Amino acid sequence: MLLIGSHVSFEKEQLLGCVKQIISYGGNTFMFYTGAPQNTIRRTIDDNLNQEAINLMKENNIYYDKIVCHAPYIINLANNLDINKYEFSIRFLRNEIDRCEALGIKYIVIHPGSALSLDKSVAINNIINALNKVISQDDEIMILLETMAGKGTECGINNEELKAIISGINFKDKIGVCLDTCHLNDSGVNMSEFDNYLSSFEQVIGLEKIKCIHINDSKNNIFSKKDRHANIGFGTLGFDNLLKIIYHEKLKDVPKILETPFVNDKPPYRHEIDMIKNKEFNPNLISDIINS
């Protein structure tokens, strides 16, 4: 069973709105932010909408247990020079986790953080301390560290950095990884030899830690450290390389989430999911999106 979905908006009708969107895109799981990724304004969770969402998921074979939340970008657990910001990030992440638990969501993706003026090793220590403060033993949620492109002073840009963070976490069953195919390319991984990457991941971290994969093409070359997503098949990775990852036998239980750019303000996801299900590149994808 292919687990495929996209980023959807939580703004309208909360989880119920997400489910309606992913049904219209033909996906069977999804990712969302509990509010705008750039700010911290959050509305209270509506239990009635949530129950309706759960019912709709059952009727439409949407995998509730594979849904992923993405924490907002403003959280930075890596730098503690401004102690107020650091403690705010810790509190806010805890808050987002509580909201996820109220929604019944099992996974939350975070960007490990940016070191800014600090040494990487100090920054990684800050991330570890923050996560150990955030995670409690009876949490049902797993925090997924996203593999980053290497923009600026980002942490988590290779398996060694991710491993260093995971090693310091007290409750290791509560920490996992979210691969992002665009970020991997931009950080220097040759995505046409993905099996090599996967075997090094297996040795350093362990494949069981991969709980989500962001499927994006990249607008930039390998090792560009840029992080600009392209539509599936319209970037450096190309359709065939992405398809191999999407249908990889060792990753079949892992949800694949599209975070590709809108085209003329239109979501590309229905067309990209179609193309992925057909396993055939659609050279007219962009015009199909525009004309939809």
Q: Rounded to the nearest whole angstrom, what is the least distance from the CB of residue 118 to Fe ion in the complex? A: 21
Stretch that binds Fe ion, among 33-41, 45-53, 76-84, 208-216 (CB under 5 A): 208-216
Q: Does 217 bind Zn ion (CB under 5 A)?
A: no
Nearer to Zn ion, 154 or 227 (CB): 227
H/E element, 211: strand 210-215
The reply on whether position 214 binds Fe ion by CB under 5 A is yes
- Taking CA atoms, 152 is separated from 70, 73, 148, 195, in Å, by 21, 14, 10, 28
- Rounded CA-CA distance 269/260 in Å is 8
In whole angstroms, the minimum distance from the beta carbon of 269 to Zn ion comes to 16
**Smallest distance from the beta carbon of 137 to Fe ion, in angstroms?**
27
Q: How far is the CB of 40 from Fe ion (least distance, A)?
A: 17
Enter the tokens of residue 24. Answer: 């219209």
Q: Which amino acid is at 79?
A: N
Strands 210-215 and 4-7: unpaired
Q: Footprint of Fe ion on residues 162-181 (CB under 5 A)?
A: 180
Distance of alpha carbon 90 from alpha carbon 133, whole angstroms: 7
Residues 215 and 232: beta-carbon distance below 8 Å: yes
CB closer to Zn ion out of 183 and 270: 183
Q: How many angstroms separate the most distant Cα atoms in the chain?
A: 51
Q: At closest approach, how far in Å is the CB of 156 from Fe ion?
A: 11
How is residue 172 annotated by DSSP? G
d(CA 263, CA 187): 25
We find the least distance from the C-beta atom of residue 216 to Zn ion, in angstroms, to be 7
Taking the least distance from each CB to Zn ion, the nearer of 9 and 50 is: 9
Contacts of Zn ion in 164-183 (CB under 5 A): none
Give 30 or 288: the residue with its C-beta nearer to Fe ion: 30
176 contact partners, CB below 8 Å, separation of at least 6: 107, 142, 143, 144, 145, 209, 210, 211, 212
227 touching Zn ion, by CB under 5 A: yes
* Torsional sign, CA 174, 175, 179, 183: positive
Element (H, E) at 217: strand 217-218
| Total binding residues toward Zn ion, as defined by CB under 5 A | 1
Query: Shortest approach of Fe ion to residue 182 CB, angstroms?
Result: 7
**Cβ-proximal residue to Fe ion, closest one:** 214
* Residue 214 contacts which entry, Fe ion, Zn ion, none (Cβ below 5-8 A, type-dependent): Fe ion
- Name the residue number minimizing CB distance to Zn ion: 227
Residue 72 has what DSSP assignment?
-
Q: How far apart are the C-alpha atoms of 105 and 65, rounded to whole Å?
A: 7
Contact of residue 288 among Fe ion, Zn ion, none (CB under 5-8 Å per partner type): none
Beta strands of 81-150 (E only): which ranges?
Answer: 107-110, 142-146
DSSP 8-state class, residue 112: -
User: Is the CB of 174 or the CB of 229 nearer to Zn ion?
Assistant: 229
How near is the Cβ of 78 to Fe ion at its closest, in Å?
15
> Which range in 5-13, 58-66, 74-82, 221-229 contacts Zn ion by CB under 5 A?
221-229
Residues 176-205 that bind Fe ion (CB under 5 A): 180
Where does this chain bind Zn ion (CB under 5 A)?
Answer: 227
Residues that bind Fe ion (CB under 5 A): 146, 180, 214
